[in-house]
C-alpha cells in the first residue's frame, strides 16, 4: 500500500478532486479488505 500523501498546499479544484478520488480509492481498498459492517 502506498503512503498517504499530505494534501497539496495549493487549494486547486483539480488537486482537491484528485485527492478525493485517491481517498475514495483508499477507502474502497479498505472496504474490500475489511468487512463493510466493521468498516462502517
pLDDT at 23: 79
Residue found under cell 483539480: 14
- Per DSSP, the residues of 1-40 read -PPPPPPPSS--HHHHHHHHHHHHHHHHHHHHHS-HHHH-
pTM, rounded to two decimals? 0.34
Q: What confidence tens digit (pLDDT) does each residue in 1-37 have?
A: 667 766 656 666 777 788 888 777 777 766 666 665 6
Is the distance from CB of 19 to CB of 8 less than 8 angstroms? yes
The C-alpha atoms of residue 37 and residue 40 are separated, in whole angstroms, by 5
More confident residue, 28 or 38: 28
Amino acid at each position: 500500500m502506498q503512503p498517504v500523501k499530505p494534501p497539496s498546499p495549493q487549494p486547486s479544484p483539480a488537486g482537491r478532486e484528485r485527492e478525493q478520488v485517491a481517498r475514495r480509492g483508499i477507502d474502497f481498498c479498505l472496504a474490500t479488505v475489511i468487512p463493510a459492517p466493521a468498516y462502517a
